């Protein structure tokens, strides 16, 4: 990682936001992604029919809603850092 990327990762780490992301490298780029594992687990449990089969529409909508909530939390936290 170059120094600019390290500075961003350090800022996220110091603010306690780093655990909300997964970081990976691809072709020399550093990619920050929302860590959706908790959302996937929660939605997997909540979107099952009576036979235990996953309900795709419910699961997709649940993941979208959960990830957007996480993203909004991240944006609010970062905004407070710069106020």
Residue-wise pLDDT tens digits, 44-70: 999 999 999 999 999 999 999 999 998
Q: 15, 81 in Cβ contact below 8 A? A: yes
Share of the chain above pLDDT 90, in %: 41
* Eight-state DSSP code of residue 82: T
Tokens of 61: 């909508």
Give the pLDDT score at 1: 59
Place of tokens 């993941």: 63
Residue 77 to residue 42: CA distance in whole angstroms = 23
């Amino acid at each position: 990682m170059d120094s600019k990327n390290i500075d961003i990762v350090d800022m996220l780490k110091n603010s306690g936001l780093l655990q909300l992301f997964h970081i990976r490298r691809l072709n020399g780029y550093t990619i920050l992604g929302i860590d959706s594992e908790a959302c996937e687990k929660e939605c997997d449990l909540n979107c099952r029919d009576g036979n235990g089969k996953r309900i795709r529409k419910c699961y997709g909508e649940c993941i979208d809603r959960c990830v957007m909530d996480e993203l909004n939390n991240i944006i609010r936290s970062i905004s407070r850092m710069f106020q």
